[in-house]
Amino acid sequence: MLQRLKATFYPIERQDLAKALPLWGSLFLLTFCYIGTKCVKYAVFLDQASGGPGAAYVPHAKLLTMLLAFLSVAIYGKLCNHFLRERLAFVLLVSFSVMLLGYDLLRPSFPLATAWFMYSLSELYSSVLQITMFWSLVNNLCTVQEGKRIYPFIFLGSQIGGMVSGKLANAIIGSYGIQPMIYLVAFLTLCNAFLLLWYGRWLEAHPELLPPVEKVELRSRTSALEGLRLLLRKRYLLLIFVIMVCYNVCIIMVDFQYKVRMEGHITGQENIGALFGDFYFYVNLASLLFLLFITKNIIRYVGLTVCLILLPLTMGLPAIISFMTAGWLMGLVASGIGQAGKYAFFDPSKELLYVPCTVDEKYKAKGAIDLIGHRGGKGLASVINIIIHGYMVLWESLVYSLVFSGLLLLWIGAAVKVGKRFKEHLGGKAVNRE
C-alpha cells in the first residue's frame, strides 16, 4: 500500500534527488524573481499618475518586446557557441541582475522611459531565463524516463517560488514601494547564477548522473539563426511552435481585456503591485495543488496528449464569457485559470516534448521556439488587440470570441498531433527522421 502511494504521489527515485534538488532551487529563484518583476512592471506601467503609459499601451509594449526577442534569438545563438550549460546560465543571470540595478538607478530621472524598459525586461526575464535558458539546461540533463519522474517535482519549485514571491510582493510593494522588491530580485538573480555555476562543476565531478550524449561535450559553431533553420526543417518542432504561439495569443487577448477594464478601479503603484502580488499567489497555489495530485499522474498513466489539451479545454469557456461581459473580474478569473493551467499542465508537458530531440534542437531550436513563439505570439496578440479594440468597437465582443475560438481549435489540433509523434518516439520511431 505504501509503495503504491509513493509511486502515485512521489515517483522520484533516490538517485534522482541529487540531480533534481539544485534544479528545484534554481527554478524556485527564477520564478520568485520573475513574479517580482511582473508586480513591479504592472505597478510602474499601469499607474499613469506616477508617469506610467497606462493599460492602453500594453499591446505596444508587447510589440516592442517582440522585436527585442528577435534580437535575443541572435544573441542567444551566439552565446550558445561560446558558452556551455551552466556558464551560459551564469552570463545571462548576471546580465539581468545588472540591468535591474541599472533600471532602479535611472528610474527617478526618466519615469516614462524606464517604465517601458521595465516592461520589456520583465517579459524577457521569462522568455530568456525561465523558459529558454533553464529548460534547455534541464532537457539536456535528463532522459525521457527521468523527465517523467522529476519534471513535476522541479515544477513544484516554480509554484512555491511564485506563491512566496506573490505574498512578499504584496507586503513589500504595498508597504514600502517598488525599490526594495527590485533590490531583492537583483540579489536573488545573482545568487541563482552562482548556484547554477556550482551545479555545473559538481556535475562534471559526477559524470554518471549525465545522459550518454552529455558525457561528450560537442560544440558546433553555427550561425545565430541555426535554431530557426532547425525549426523550419522539422515538423515536430513546428507543432511545438504552433501550440506555443496559440497559448500566448489566447492569454494576452484575455489579459488585455481585463486590464483595460480595470483601469480607473485600481490606482496607485502600491495598490496595483499588491493586487498582482495576491493574484500570482493564488495562481501558483492552484497550480501547485494540481502538480501535487493530478499533473504527474496524468502524464504517467493517461498520456502526454491529454495533458497538452487540458489547458485550452479549461480556459476556453471562462475566457469567452469574459469577452461577452463588461466587467473586469471575470477576465481576471479567466486569466488566472489560463496561467495556473500553464504552470500545472502546459509547461510540464511542453518541456517533456523536447527530451527526444538532439542537443542542437534542445538548445538552438528550443531557443528559437521559446523566444519567437513566446514573444511572437504575444506580438501577434498585441496586433489583434490594437485592431479589434481600436477599429471594431461595435463588434468587439463577438470578434474577440470568434478569433479566440478559432485559436483554441488550432491549438488542440496541434497538441493532438505532437502528442502522437511523441508517443511514436517512445514506441521506437524517432522524431528526428524528418
Inside any domain, residue 299 = yes
- pLDDT band at 14; cut points 50, 70, 90: low
User: Left, alpha or beta for 428 (phi > 0: left; psi -120 to 50: alpha)?
Assistant: left
Q: How many residues does the chain have?
A: 434
> What value does the mean pLDDT take over residues 375-392?
86
pLDDT at 201: 86
- Under DSSP, the state recorded for 301 is I
CATH number at residue 112: 1.20.1250.20
Inside any domain, residue 95 = yes
For residue 30, the enclosing domain spans: 16-433
pLDDT at 343 over 70: yes
Bigger pLDDT: 185 or 317?
185
The span from the CA of 311 to the CA of 335, in Å, is: 12
Here the cell at position 139 is 532537457
Provide, rounded to the nearest whole percent, the portion of the chain with pLDDT above 90.
22
Alpha helices per DSSP H over 141-207: 144-176, 179-204
- pLDDT band at 370; cut points 50, 70, 90: confident
Q: How far apart are the first and last CA of the chain?
A: 45
Average pLDDT, the chain: 81
pLDDT at 100: 95
Inside any domain, residue 155 = yes
The span from the CA of 403 to the CA of 424, in Å, is: 32
Cβ neighbours around 84 below 10 Å, total: 17
Phi, then psi, of 263 in degrees rounded to 5: -60, 130
The distance of Cα 197 from the centroid of its chain, to the nearest Å, equals 22
> What value does the mean pLDDT take over residues 155-159?
83
Specify which residues 266 forms β-bridges with.
263
Inside any domain, residue 10 = no
- Alpha carbon distances (Å) from 232 to 9, 24, 274, 418, 420: 39, 32, 43, 15, 20
Residue with cell 490594437: 386
Residue with cell 505596444: 60
Query: Which region among 7-21, 102-116, 405-419 has the lowest average model confidence (pLDDT)?
Result: 7-21
- The three-point CA angle 342-348-349 to 5° equals 95
pLDDT at 221: 46
The distance of Cα 1 from the centroid of its chain, to the nearest Å, equals 37
Helix (H) or strand (E) holding 213: helix 212-215
> What value does the mean pLDDT take over residues 45-53?
76
Query: Which region among 144-148, 219-223, 359-363 has the lowest average model confidence (pLDDT)?
Result: 219-223
> Helix, strand, coil proportions of the chain in percent (round to 5)?
85, 0, 15
pLDDT at 188: 96
pLDDT digits over 136-150, tens only? 778 777 776 776 677
Inside any domain, residue 11 = no
Here the cell at position 27 is 527554478
- Under DSSP, the state recorded for 433 is G
pLDDT digits over 261-304, tens only? 887 777 777 888 888 888 889 988 888 888 777 777 787 777 78
Inside any domain, residue 6 = no
> What value does the mean pLDDT take over residues 25-40?
93
Inside any domain, residue 1 = no
Q: Indicate the number of domains in the chain.
A: 1
Burial of 23 (0-12, 13-18, 19+ CB in 10 A): buried
Closest CA to 276 of 107, 35, 32: 35
Query: Which region among 27-36, 217-226, 251-260 has the lowest average model confidence (pLDDT)?
Result: 217-226
Specify which residues 90 forms β-bridges with.
none
Closest CA to 246 of 319, 181, 185, 183: 319
Closest CA to 262 of 54, 41, 117, 62: 54
Inside any domain, residue 283 = yes
pLDDT at 134 over 70: yes
SS3 label, residue 415: helix
pLDDT at 7: 52
